[in-house]
Amino acid sequence: MPALTRRLLIEGRVQGVGFRWSLMAKLRELGLDGWVRNRDDGSVEAHIRGPAEAVDRLTAWAHRGPPRARVDRVVCQDECQDAPGEETPASGDGFVRRASR
């Protein structure tokens, strides 16, 4: 199954509610690679890569998030390759939490 790389920008009440930690747990469960971070504007950004079906399942989860979150909007952008300076860990390296931006 071909790999898909997707960037998610999740807006709403998504900081201070365990969103990044819950997202990381879901990504590990689905076997995806990538990174996640809080942004200064209050959103959460994630860059994920893996089988298209698993990426789609994670994207659907991101529209709900953990119980204390309120997701207002998720902006998705599928990518053919990583953006400069935003490398996704190589396949099998797992998912990492990055510093806020």
> Is 7 one of the catalytic residues?
no
Nearest to residue 49, comparing CAs of 1, 7, 77?
7
38 tagged catalytic? yes
pLDDT tens digits, 20-49: 999 999 999 999 999 999 999 999 999 999
Higher pLDDT, 3 or 19: 19
| Domains along the sequence of the chain with CATH | 3-83 (3.30.70.100)
Please name which of 70, 13, 18, 74 lies closest in space to residue 48, comparing C-alpha atoms: 74
Active-site residue identified among 7, 28, 37, 38: 38
The catalytically annotated residue of 13, 20, 37, 68 is 20
pLDDT tens digits, residue range 61-99?
999 999 999 999 999 999 865 444 445 554 445 556 666
pLDDT value of residue 3? 87
- pTM of the full structure: 0.78
What torsion do the CA atoms of 73, 78, 83, 87 make, to the nearest 10 degrees?
Answer: 90
